[in-house]
Amino acid sequence: MSSDVQEPSTELMRPTRNTGMALNLDLVAEQRVNLSAVERRCAALGGRRTVKKAHQAAWLLKAISCMDLTTLAGDDTPGRVRRLCAKARNPLRPDLVAALGIADLKLTTGAVCVYHEMIAPAAAALHGTGIPVAAVSTGFPAGLTPHHLKVAEIKASVAAGAREIDIVISRRHVLTGDWAALYDEMAEYRAACGNAHVKAILATGELGTLRNVARASWVCMMAGADFIKTSTGKEGVNATLPFTLVMLRAIRDYHALTGHKIGYKPAGGISRAKDSLGYLALIKEELGDAWLTPALFRFGASSLLGDIERQLEHHVTGAYSAANRHAMA
């Protein structure tokens, strides 16, 4: 097997925390997005020749290492969460690991994401692995519970063992242009997280315009978000390449201004291995190789793992198995 397949690393080397900056309303106001240019850029990305064979296998392994396996269902049980954690620890079947020659990589996913009530079984199942538990919080997915309860929920999840907190912003602050309110809210969430990293979910499909997406990205980063994330996965429109491009350029410009590297997480609607390659290519071209690690990039897409495993099986055997063979219980 080509050494290209040996490239991914699953070690979660966390960057320095984002300390944020004072709210700069002039900088927020000057954000502009050229819609036609964004659409042309994203269309051109999809029209290119994709990577093939061993190179594609290496990129797909990279995608696995940057994946947050997630279960956010009303019928979640400790048993289901333990099974998901077992998959996070060993995301590929042993025969594929052997055929690809990657046993030494100790490949895992980037994290396991659950509701607060499932933090304890997840933390127990992942103990000693280095795989963090991420918890959705602040009235996920709508974010319309009372503010003091949102802050209390964050603190409770951190106390229960969550090392990452995925918060949802109040979309009304963006839609009404109340940037000070959004900044203050995000700053309080960041403080409540303590040492846990915080991912700010913008719910991009509900923000109305790409300019709003850019402005919300900037305000959340100014207020201390360690990651910005597209969606809860529950909106009508979730992760898209145009949303991604706008958010990545905000991250790039924030890094140039402050020196802080902010992570990015597209979530919802990414279910095909081919789609994951497009996101990885955009990350590489816009932000560079430094962002191609689970410390700075995550997919919020559990269903994606099944198709990646299926494509890797085809790479190894030359044949596809039934899709339902790779579905997680």
Q: Mind telling me the catalytic residues? A: 166, 229, 265
Using CA atoms, how far apart are residues 109 and 293, in angstroms rounded to an integer? 11
Using CA atoms, how far apart are residues 68 and 297, in angstroms rounded to an integer? 10
Using CA atoms, how far apart are residues 261 and 17, in angstroms rounded to an integer? 9
Using CA atoms, how far apart are residues 171 and 143, in angstroms rounded to an integer? 8
- CB within 8 Å of 294: residues ≥ 6 apart: 10, 12, 65, 66, 110, 111
- DSSP class of residue 296? T
Helical segments of 75-138, H only: 78-89, 94-100, 119-126
Rounded to a whole number of angstroms, the CA Rg of the chain reads 19
- CB within 8 Å of 55: residues ≥ 6 apart: 2, 4
Are β-strands 164-168 and 197-201 bridged in parallel, bridged antiparallel, or unpaired? parallel
Can you read off the two tokens belonging to residue 169? Answer: 């912003």
